[in-house]
């Protein structure tokens, strides 16, 4: 067991977080971190050996408490606003001092990790946590260098995660006691006042989203897999749209389930693990994810255990609907060990349409792909963010990841266009939402049907099938799809009353058009013309 009494600050940021810490445990292995977590009452073991932890008050991200330091480096590059909230350097310095004070007499855990499987674009990340289980989360989610590579490492970025440290809004310039602050000049992330571990990985995702466009590379909130012939597929989509489920295909190798970059040599994973939604998880529907979640080394967040035998009850949402499973990607059989693939053949944009009017499948032109990438329409699933209600809410989240995009959305959209045009990738819109009526009336599109559509896309199954233009949304929809009922492909035919469908479709089209006004002056006119507009 490696034990040190104080951390040595990196040359990158000079933040000495544990000078007064009682003890520091450095780069502990999986077993030791689990032992610490159980011994300190941070979590308990399931019947199959997974560590089960609770995140307290925050069972999801806290987007209103995320900030970026506004200084000379970021002033003209960040798209400031409700998503990218500014914090002045002086307030940051006071928060940093608060964190230093909060580290006094604490036991801290440190992991030296990395983000980005492309060596040329990778950043080294040091994660310092108050909880052992947060350190296990970081070890699961980031790339794990060899012991040799960890020797005398100088991190590019340092993440400090101390849930017990709470801000004073009047003194620190925050909205509440909780804070997630990114400082690009000091290359540090400070996290306090929340036990939700997902803030650790999402903060570094945001860092890469800022850095990669500088070199003409595209950061993406998407999953990725590759077939036996080397055909890479990307799956864009917000939480709950199915990107983790659909990319975990036994017939294809998983590159990653959430965050990737598209560089000059193709696609690469940012992470070394998966962070899957665990609600209603079953071995039948999602065998790979289920097996990975029910073994030693997996970390289950807010999953309730059966009192009698400690087996996870994935249907229990008494704590939150945003139950999660974190595990190393090597828990998935046949994963791509390098975390890299070539240029994608298919770019699939997933949405969960709560209105039940979008086609389940449509092929997109490059202009339409840019339009839907900027729109990022879906229905948020209850529990994925603090303050969500019990029902899904229709939303537009640009680039299918607005909370993590520091730059103006048009920068990412222009990069997507360049990548798609240079690679010749085909673009698709797949709706995993409702059919036969809107949420509360209709039903969720069967997972088996969605899988069949994805299979047809990846196998070239539409080569000899004609496409017709949907009269309500202007999308090109196939007349047929193997193993999918024909009426399912035409949403209007699944509703009891056509007039109800038309009214609802027009309502959604109006929302699309109103939302896209903000992007119209930043994109070519052809993108605007390719978009969705209400009829009449």
β pairing state of 426-431 and 361-364 = antiparallel
CA–chain centroid gap for 45, Å, is 26
Mean pLDDT of 168-194: 97
This prediction has a pTM of 0.91
* pLDDT at residue 430 greater than cutoff 90: yes
Enumerate the β-bridge partners of residue 224: 234, 256
102, 130, 160, 380, 439 from 164: Cα distances, Å: 8, 8, 12, 29, 40
Phi (first) and psi of residue 319, to 5 degrees: -90, -45
The token pair that represents 158 in the structure block: 């340092």
Under the banding of pLDDT at 50, 70 and 90, the label for residue 99 is very high
363, 458, 507 from 445: Cα distances, Å: 18, 20, 21
Residues 371/83/517/217 CA torsion (nearest 10 deg): -30
For a pLDDT cut of 90, what percent of the chain falls above it? 83
> Exposure of 383 by Cβ count < 10 A (0-12 exposed, 13-18 middle, 19+ buried)?
buried
* pLDDT at residue 11 greater than cutoff 70: no
* pLDDT at residue 230 greater than cutoff 50: yes
pLDDT score for 17: 60
Q: How many Cα atoms occupy the beta-carbon half-sphere of 187 within 13 Å?
A: 18
Order the strands of the 273-277 sheet from edge to edge: 43-45, 51-53, 299-301, 324-328, 273-277
Instruction: Write down the residue that tokens 């071995």 correspond to.
Output: 283
CB 288 within 8 A of CB 332: yes
Buried-exposed string 348-364: b where 16+ CB fall within 10 A, e elsewhere: bbbbbbbbbbbbbbbbb
Under the banding of pLDDT at 50, 70 and 90, the label for residue 49 is very high
* pLDDT at residue 13 greater than cutoff 50: no
Q: Picking from 81-90, 148-157, 360-369, which range would have the lowest pLDDT averaged per residue? A: 148-157
Q: Picking from 60-74, 141-155, 216-230, 360-374, which range would have the lowest pLDDT averaged per residue? A: 141-155
Q: Picking from 171-185, 227-241, 302-316, 326-340, which range would have the lowest pLDDT averaged per residue? A: 227-241
> Which sequence positions are flagged as catalytic?
61, 202, 221, 239, 243-244, 258, 324
CB 226 within 8 A of CB 201: no
Identify the helix (H) or strand (E) that includes residue 424.
none
pLDDT digits (tens, 9 = 90+) for 333-369: 999 999 999 999 999 999 999 889 999 999 999 999 9
Mean pLDDT of 220-249: 90
pLDDT score for 158: 95
The angle at the Cα of 331, spanning 328 to 333, to the nearest 5 degrees, equals 135
d(CA 139, CA 141): 6
Mean pLDDT of 457-477: 95
The closest of 6, 177, 165 to 96, measured between CA atoms, is 165
Coil vs helix vs strand at 278: coil
Mean pLDDT of 217-233: 96
The closest of 130, 145, 153, 169 to 40, measured between CA atoms, is 130
Alpha helix stretches (DSSP H) within 6-116: 30-39, 89-102
The token pair that represents 499 in the structure block: 């007039």
* pLDDT at residue 220 greater than cutoff 70: yes
Under the banding of pLDDT at 50, 70 and 90, the label for residue 243 is confident
Buried-exposed string 438-475: b where 16+ CB fall within 10 A, e elsewhere: bbeebeebeeebbbbbbbbbbeebbeeeeeeebebbbb
pLDDT digits (tens, 9 = 90+) for 19-28: 567 889 999 9
Secondary structure letter of residue 152 according to DSSP: T
pLDDT score for 248: 82
Buried-exposed string 136-161: b where 16+ CB fall within 10 A, e elsewhere: bbbbbbbbbbeeeebeeeebbbbbbb
Mean pLDDT of 407-429: 97
Under the banding of pLDDT at 50, 70 and 90, the label for residue 18 is low
pLDDT score for 151: 79
CB 40 within 8 A of CB 143: no
The token pair that represents 521 in the structure block: 């002056």
Give me the chain's average pLDDT, please: 92
pLDDT digits (tens, 9 = 90+) for 448-459: 999 999 999 999
Q: Picking from 15-24, 179-188, 277-286, 419-428, which range would have the lowest pLDDT averaged per residue? A: 15-24
Mean pLDDT of 109-129: 96
* pLDDT at residue 39 greater than cutoff 70: yes
pLDDT score for 9: 39
The closest of 244, 240, 242 to 255, measured between CA atoms, is 244
The token pair that represents 26 in the structure block: 């450095």
């Amino acid at each position: 067991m490696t034990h040190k009494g104080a951390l040595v600050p990196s040359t990158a940021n000079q933040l000495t977080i544990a000078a007064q810490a009682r003890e520091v445990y450095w780069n502990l292995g999986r077993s030791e971190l689990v032992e610490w977590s159980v011994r300190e009452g941070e979590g308990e073991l399931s019947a199959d050996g997974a560590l089960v932890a609770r995140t307290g008050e925050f069972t999801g991200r806290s987007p209103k408490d995320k900030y970026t330091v506004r200084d000379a480096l970021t002033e003209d590059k960040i798209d400031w606003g409700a998503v990218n909230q500014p914090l002045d350097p002086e307030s940051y310095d006071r928060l940093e001092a608060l964190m230093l004070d909060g580290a006094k007499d604490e036991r801290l855990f440190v992991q030296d990790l990395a983000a980005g499987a492309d060596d040329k674009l990778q950043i080294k990340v040091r994660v310092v946590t108050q909880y052992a289980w947060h350190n296990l989360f970081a070890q699961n989610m980031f790339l794990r260098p060899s012991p040799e590579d960890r020797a005398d490492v100088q991190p590019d970025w340092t993440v400090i995660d101390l849930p017990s440290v709470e801000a004073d809004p009047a003194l620190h310039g925050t909205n509440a006691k909780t804070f997630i602050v990114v400082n690009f000049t000091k290359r540090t992330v400070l996290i306090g006042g929340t036990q939700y571990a997902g803030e650790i990985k999402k903060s570094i995702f945001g860092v890469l989203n800022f850095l990669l466009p500088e070199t003409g590379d595209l950061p993406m909130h998407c999953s990725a897999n590759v077939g036996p012939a080397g055909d890479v597929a990307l799956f864009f989509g917000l939480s709950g749209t199915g990107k983790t489920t659909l990319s975990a295909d036994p017939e294809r190798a998983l590159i990653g389930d959430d965050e990737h970059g598209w560089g000059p040599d193709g696609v690469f994973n940012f992470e070394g693990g998966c962070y899957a939604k665990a609600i209603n998880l079953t071995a039948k529907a999602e065998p790979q994810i289920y097996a990975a979640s029910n073994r030693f080394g997996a970390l289950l967040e807010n999953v309730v255990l059966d009192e009698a035998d400690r087996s996870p009850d994935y249907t229990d949402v008494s704590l939150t609907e945003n139950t999660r499973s974190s595990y190393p990607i090597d828990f998935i059989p046949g994963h791509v060990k390098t975390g890299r693939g070539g240029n994608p053949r298919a770019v699939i944009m997933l949405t969960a349409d709560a209105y039940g009017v979008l086609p389940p499948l449509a092929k997109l032109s490059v202009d339409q792909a840019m339009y839907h990438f900027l729109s990022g329409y879906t229905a948020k699933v209850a529990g994925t963010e603090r303050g969500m209600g019990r029902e899904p809410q229709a939303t537009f989240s640009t680039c299918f990841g607005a909370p993590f995009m520091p730059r103006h959305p048009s920068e990412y959209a222009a990069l997507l266009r360049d990548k798609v045009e240079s690679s010749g990738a085909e673009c698709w819109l797949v709706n995993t939402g409702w059919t036969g009526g809107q949420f509360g009336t209709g039903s969720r599109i069967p997972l088996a049907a969605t899988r069949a559509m994805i299979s047809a896309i990846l196998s070239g199954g539409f080569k000899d099938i004609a496409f017709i233009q949907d009269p309500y949304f202007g999308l090109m929809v196939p007349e047929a799809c193997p193993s999918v009922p024909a009426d399912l492909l035409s949403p209007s035919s699944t509703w009891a009353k056509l007039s109800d469908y038309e009214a609802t479709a027009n309502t959604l089209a109006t929302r699309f058009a109103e939302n896209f006004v903000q992007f119209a002056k930043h994109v070519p006119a052809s993108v605007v013309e390719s978009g969705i507009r209400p009829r009449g």
